[in-house]
Amino acid sequence: MSAAMKTLLACLLAACASAPKSAPPAPQAAAAPAAPPEAGIDRAGMDSAVAPGDDFFAYANGAWSKSTAIPPDRSSWGTGGILAELTARRTADLIAEAARTSAPEGSEVRKVGDTYNTFMDEAAIEAKGLAPLLPQLAAIAAISDAQSLARALGKTVRADVDVLNSTNLHTDNIFGLWVAQDLDDPQRYAPFLLQGGLTLPDRDYYTDPAPRMTAIRAKYQAHIAAMLKLAAIPDQGPKAARIFDLEHRIAEVHLSRTDSEDVIKGNNHWSRGDLEKRAPGLDWSAFLDAAGLAREGQFVVWQPGALTGIAALVKSQPLSTWKEWLAFHAISRAAAFLPKAFVEERFNFFGKTLSGTEALRARWKRAIDVTDDALGEAVGKLYVARYFPPAEKARAEEMVKNELAAFAERIDKLAWMAPQTKERAKAKLKALKVGVGYPDQWRDYSGLQVVAGDALGNAERAGLFELQRNLGKLGRPVDRGEWVMNPQLVNAVNLPAMNALNFPAAILQPPYFDPARPVVMDYGATGATIGHEISHSFDDEGALFDASGRLKNWWTEEDFAHFKASSEQLVKQYDGYRPFADAHVNGKLTVSENIADVAGLAAAYDAYRLSQGGKEAPTVQGLTGDQQFYLSFAQSWRNKIREEAARQRLVTDSHAPAEFRADTVRNQDPWYAAFGVAPGQKLYLLPQDRVRVW
């Protein structure tokens, strides 16, 4: 995963004595998730009736797609989901063990157990009702003027923008905050301010006149009213209308998602004085003081127009409307930690309406998410100790070594690239810091207070702890070894401004990475992911950062023009993919990820060949080495998704749908030979039309 904004800034970026008496059932009581497929290619999941050259995704996964149903508590399901479910099960078991041990008060293990058990005690949460949230609502009600409003808005600031999830590139707080490596000065951290204030996934959900979006807006307004009613706030209908109207006005000043992912447009350094002059309407001194940013003299303002527009709305819209907006957002953020009625109402809108998910996830699964959010690396320590042996770390590091060597060879062989550009590319490759499994230094949670029995308070304190941890970076040297993913997360990331990669332990598990199968299959799955992440350092955005992480284009003008031409080929290729008759993939929005897929698959293929020492891989399951490689790649993208979720991702996600990512193979010459793909078949591309980025 990468793509401009979400990764470039991401880098910068027991026996519980206090456990409830009627302890909730251990997570083992929940139904076990489906196990990953057995080692090797899943031949039974293929559809041999489909020609590989017509639809490679269906050829590799067709039978599985026909026989598999999406679980009712999921909006999508596939290889990644199955592994994530298995990882959650394992994590739940580890946390349950932590909760049963005699860990001392204040220890990480005790904090993990108390966080999990407190959230699981639904009866205690029901009994408390709205009481845990009442102090927040009372503070909002007491807002009396522009200065107290600015302070209230500032107090909502958290380091909560999910930079690793391209479907959440904004915060529902008024502004988002990242403390990240300065793009102009890689030796220092800077506070980045982002547009915020929206609850729906993207500005288009407020502004798109399509009937489907209009219907969603009506349901959202009804949801606002329902949440206010649950909180016993009167006049829900008129207040919901005003809250929605305010968010609509905020959406109108938001920068588009495509423009927000443009690093050059986003790198705007503003002083404190600039904030007051260029974004009048908000009492910036009061806001920044409440947000913990009073000492900062310079900020990176990612979407200047949005900051100016939102600040103007703070002044132009009635104080009473802002108080209503703050109250609703406080209720919405707290809903997961409130009685069942709040949880279900939030799920009915965000789960059913927006994503088509049929059933709320089991409470133990949500408890895992809550615990991971609060104490991710503490849980990660437990996970790594149990499920990521040193031998697998070494095996993954060997694969990374081969991928880097293959990528270096590809750079050397580029006929179109100037010698000086090649030299800089290889210097950047040599400086790349690759983290495998888990960080070199674990995070310190000694300053985080966890109180057994206080679910909402624990979540609030965890959010403040993370904010303070990030603010604490300001003025300190940049740590290139910092991880932005928990070890128990099934994902991977490139951090271009840090010139670093993270490959968490959880993605280095079967079926992606499996010591029980031929290594060629691992290269097709995990190897392609490693190649994908490496190539992000050299894609359309990575090319803008030198080996130190400075925002500096290190390409010659001619080389960059050649690269952009290849990018445009991919934009056109992906614009032609239509998951629905009335909607196509946005080639421009997904171009960085598509470049990484093409380049990463090519590097993984070369690395697999390198690993064989010049020999052909043995035939396994009746498949040649190349067939094993490409089928493993396609089966790693095995996925089914509900229409509502698929449509949402077309608007918000910088990744193409899984089936089209599997079809990346059509740009690889060896794939044609491996499967006898010929002219006339749907995926066939003339040699000159195959995109060859690296």
Task: For the chain, give every domain's residue range.
Answer: 72-129+339-384, 145-317, 388-440+486-549+558-694
In the structure, what pLDDT confidence band is assigned to residue 14 with cuts at 50, 70 and 90? Answer: very low
The mean per-residue pLDDT over the stretch 488-495 comes to: 91
DSSP string spanning 496-557?
A: TTTTEEEEEGGGSSTTTS-TTS-HHHHIIIIIHHHHHHHHGGGSTTGGGB-TT--B---S-H
| Per-residue model confidence as pLDDT tens digits over 72-109 | 999 999 999 999 999 999 999 998 887 777 788 889 99
The mean per-residue pLDDT over the stretch 447-453 comes to: 97
d(CA 98, CA 111): 9
pLDDT of the residue at 162: 54
Whether residue 466 has pLDDT greater than 60: yes
Residue identified by tokens 């809250």 is 243
DSSP string spanning 337-349?
A: GS-HHHHHHHHII
The mean per-residue pLDDT over the stretch 663-677 comes to: 97
Structure tokens at 149: 């409003």
Whether residue 442 has pLDDT greater than 70: yes
pLDDT of the residue at 17: 28
Whether residue 170 has pLDDT greater than 60: no
Residue identified by tokens 């894609």 is 539
In the structure, what pLDDT confidence band is assigned to residue 38 with cuts at 50, 70 and 90? Answer: low
| Per-residue model confidence as pLDDT tens digits over 280-295 | 999 999 999 999 999 9
- Euclidean distance between the first and final Cα of the chain, in Å? 18
Whether residue 381 has pLDDT greater than 90: yes
How many CA atoms, within 13 angstroms, populate the side-chain half-sphere of residue 197?
A: 31
Question: For residue 408, what is the enclosing H or E element?
Answer: helix 390-413
Instruction: Output the CA torsion 398→400→401→406 (10° steps).
Output: 130
Distances (CA, A) of 647 to 56, 77, 205, 398, 657: 22, 16, 11, 39, 10
| Per-residue model confidence as pLDDT tens digits over 316-374 | 999 999 999 999 999 999 999 999 999 999 999 999 999 999 999 999 999 999 999 99
d(CA 555, CA 681): 37
Min mean pLDDT across 12-16, 398-402, 416-420 is at 12-16
* Average pLDDT taken over every residue of the chain: 90
Residue whose C-alpha is closest to residue 595's, from 564, 624, 620, 631: 564
Give ∠ CA 656-659-664 in degrees, rounded to 5. 75
Min mean pLDDT across 277-291, 306-320, 650-664 is at 650-664
510: amino acid identity, one letter: P
Helix-then-strand count for the chain, H and E: 30, 9
The mean per-residue pLDDT over the stretch 31-42 comes to: 62
Give ∠ CA 495-499-504 in degrees, rounded to 5. 50
Give ∠ CA 645-649-653 in degrees, rounded to 5. 150
In the structure, what pLDDT confidence band is assigned to residue 169 with cuts at 50, 70 and 90? Answer: very low
The mean per-residue pLDDT over the stretch 602-621 comes to: 95
State which CATH number among 2.60.120.10, 3.40.47.10, 3.40.50.720, 3.40.390.10 fits the domain covering 388-440+486-549+558-694. Answer: 3.40.390.10
d(CA 629, CA 424): 31
Residue whose C-alpha is closest to residue 376's, from 436, 439, 330, 435: 439
Whether residue 392 has pLDDT greater than 70: yes
Write the class of the CATH domain 145-317: mainly alpha
Whether residue 143 has pLDDT greater than 90: yes
Tell me phi and psi for residue 72, to 5 degrees. Answer: -60, -25
Whether residue 18 has pLDDT greater than 70: no
Distances (CA, A) of 471 to 178, 295, 484: 9, 11, 16
| Per-residue model confidence as pLDDT tens digits over 209-253 | 999 999 999 999 999 999 999 999 999 999 999 999 999 999 999
pLDDT of the residue at 556: 87
pTM over 0.75: yes
Tell me phi and psi for residue 436, to 5 degrees. Answer: -120, 120
* Radius of gyration of the chain measured on its C-alpha atoms: 25
Could you give the 3-state DSSP secondary structure of residue 406?
Answer: helix
Tell me phi and psi for residue 202, to 5 degrees. Answer: -160, 160
pLDDT of the residue at 136: 97
Is the CB of residue 42 less than 8 Å from the CB of residue 635? yes
The mean per-residue pLDDT over the stretch 110-118 comes to: 94
pLDDT of the residue at 37: 52
Instruction: Tally the residues of the chain.
Output: 694
Whether residue 3 has pLDDT greater than 70: no
Residue whose C-alpha is closest to residue 542's, from 568, 572, 563, 571: 563
pLDDT of the residue at 8: 39
In the structure, what pLDDT confidence band is assigned to residue 557 with cuts at 50, 70 and 90? Answer: confident
Helix axes 390-413, 591-611, angle to 10 degrees: 100
- For residue 200, the 8-state DSSP code is S
CB within 8 Å of 206: residues ≥ 6 apart: 198, 200, 217, 247, 248, 251, 252
Q: Where are the alpha helices (DSSP H) in 68-195?
A: 79-100, 108-120, 122-128, 134-141, 146-155
pLDDT of the residue at 2: 36
Whether residue 19 has pLDDT greater than 60: no
